[in-house]
Amino acid sequence: MAQVRVAPPGSVRLAALPPLAAYVHLPWCVRKCPYCDFNSHERTGALPEGEYVDALVADLEALLPSVWGRRATSVFIGGGTPSLFAPASIERLLSALRARLPLEPDAEVTLEANPGTAEASRFAGYRAAGVNRLSLGVQSFDDRMLAALGRIHGADEARRALDMGLRQFDNVNVDLMYGLPGQTLAMAREDIAEAVRRGPSHVSAYQLTIEPNTVFYRKRPELPAHDACADMQLAIEEALGAAGYEHYETSAFARPGRRSRHNLNYWQFGDYLGLGAGAHGKLSFAERVTRHARARQPREYLEAALHGRRGSLVEEQTVAPRELPFEFMLNALRLVEGFPVELFAARTGLPLAAAETGLAEAERRGLIERDRRRIRPTERGRLFLNELLALFLPG
Ligand SMILES: C[S@@+](CC[C@H](N)C(=O)[O-])C[C@H]1O[C@@H](n2cnc3c(N)ncnc32)[C@H](O)[C@@H]1O
Ligand code: SF4
């Protein structure tokens, strides 16, 4: 049953509503990777694609009264492995979405794909359905690393999928991981060099983290030392910088004009609808900022979305005003260029003074720098992001 908590009105006042995006979660994968703690479930048998799209549309319809009159600036179909869905299902999903929620004419529409599920005809189908940006989970171009990560594809498949993606889409992101079991600095350099040679418009480079509730957490692989990982990160930043990619967020690099609009909206504390199993969303109103979350297990989610009296929401709550400074900083301080000072009040509905204690301490410790216009993390702040963010935790 949905849990509803509402804060007293009046303590937050937004002058205008932020941009709106839509996140759509497709929760199935061919196999669960041993490091992954996303809401992804191993596929068993045929996927209930039709039923699932019906459930997504039901989620959307239930939220429409909360976003009446607004347009969406981006759609992100993530997972899981969305490329397990047939192009016809993605087409039905995007048509249903557009019919109910107007998209900006230049809306960014991203679909995540796994190289192990890539086919040229699928990619062409996604494009015809309205997807205009592909995000490919390559992880590495080294067979040994891909095996260590339990990926369903090898390096050649990753290369083929990327080349196919680049033929179909002019906006392609490649996900890479570093700090992998058995990886050396030279191997990490080679991965990034190969990505650069192939020329995607965007690269996301994540250091492998060991998350609770994963196979790697129970049976921890031996990872490169902390210093070696820091060297890899520096080498990746250098190689991408030299090749003309702008480093704009902790893990994100883009060619000029190709920053991910969808992810930027999260980092700028914009609004987004969360549709699908386990999806989270954030919606602002004149006097409150709210969050919503949905049932995680695909079966339970489908049942609730299609037949439940209250739909698939398991949680819907107003964010307490005292938590808003932390929530804002958690996102905005990931941005290398930080944020314009007025964005804080525009998105949280609170005066910047509400974050002043944290800002002053962060400045004193050399974790941020600021002038009248912008607040940005220093290099030290980016390196010690958790220490920086902790300064904004509600007391
Ligand atoms: C939800 S996955 C989507 C892509 C698709 N499911 C795939 O793996 O091919 C998003 C990305 O997060 C990264 N990722 C997932 N788990 C991670 C972990 N434990 N540490 C670092 N990066 C991780 C991977 O690069 C992955 O491609
Ligand atoms: S394919 Fe992606 S979402 Fe699926 S288990 Fe692996 S990392 Fe997680």
Which of 28, 36, 85 for a ligand 1 pocket mutation test, highest count of atoms within 8 Å of Cβ? 36
Left, alpha or beta for 116 (phi > 0: left; psi -120 to 50: alpha)? alpha
Distance of CA 203 to the CA centre of its chain: 13
Which of 146, 206, 215 for a ligand 1 pocket mutation test, highest count of atoms within 8 Å of Cβ? 206
Q: Match 């993530």 to its residue by tokens.
A: 78
Residue ranges of the domains in the chain?
3-266, 322-390
CA of 70 to the centre of ligand 2 (A): 32
* In the predicted structure, residue 169 carries a pLDDT above the cut 70: yes
**112 C-beta closer than 6 A to ligand 1:** yes
Distance of CA 82 to the CA centre of its chain: 14
Report the alpha-carbon distance of residue 54 to residue 287 in Å, rounded.
32
CA of 33 to the centre of ligand 1 (A): 9
Which H helix or E strand runs over 246?
Answer: strand 246-249
The predicted model gives 102-119 an average pLDDT of 95
Residue nearest atom 3 of ligand 2, based on CA coordinates: 80
The predicted model gives 119-126 an average pLDDT of 92
Q: pLDDT digit string (tens) for 327-359?
A: 999 999 999 999 999 999 999 999 999 999 999
Strands 103-113 and 72-79: parallel
* In the predicted structure, residue 83 carries a pLDDT above the cut 70: yes
Which of 39, 81, 180 for a ligand 2 pocket mutation test, highest count of atoms within 8 Å of Cβ? 81
CA of 279 to the centre of ligand 1 (A): 16
CA of 78 to the centre of ligand 2 (A): 10
Topology of domain 322-390 in CATH is Arc Repressor Mutant, subunit A (1.10.10)
**C-beta of residue 45 within 8 angstroms of C-beta of residue 316:** no
Q: pLDDT digit string (tens) for 363-383?
A: 999 999 999 999 999 999 999
Percentage of the chain modeled with pLDDT above 70: 97
User: Smallest Cα–Cα separation from 183: which of 222, 211, 214, 217?
Assistant: 222
* In the predicted structure, residue 138 carries a pLDDT above the cut 60: yes
Give the position, in ligand 1's atom list, of the atom nearest the Cα of 207: 21
Percentage of the chain modeled with pLDDT above 90: 95
**C-beta of residue 380 within 8 angstroms of C-beta of residue 363:** no
Give the position, in ligand 2's atom list, of the atom nearest the Cα of 112: 2
Please name which ligand lies nearest the alpha carbon of 214: 1
The predicted model gives 49-74 an average pLDDT of 97
Task: State pTM to two decimals.
Answer: 0.96
**139 C-beta closer than 6 A to ligand 1:** yes
Burial class of residue 368 in the structure, from the number of CB atoms within 10 Å of its CB (0-12 exposed, 13-18 middle, 19+ buried): buried
Task: Classify domain 3-266 by CATH number.
Answer: 3.20.20.70
CA of 330 to the centre of ligand 1 (A): 20
**pLDDT band at residue 226 using 50, 70 and 90 as cut-offs:** very high
Q: pLDDT digit string (tens) for 186-212?
A: 999 999 999 999 999 999 999 999 999
CA of 10 to the centre of ligand 1 (A): 40
Give the position, in ligand 2's atom list, of the atom nearest the Cα of 35: 7
**379 C-beta closer than 6 A to ligand 1:** no
Residue nearest atom 10 of ligand 1, based on CA coordinates: 137
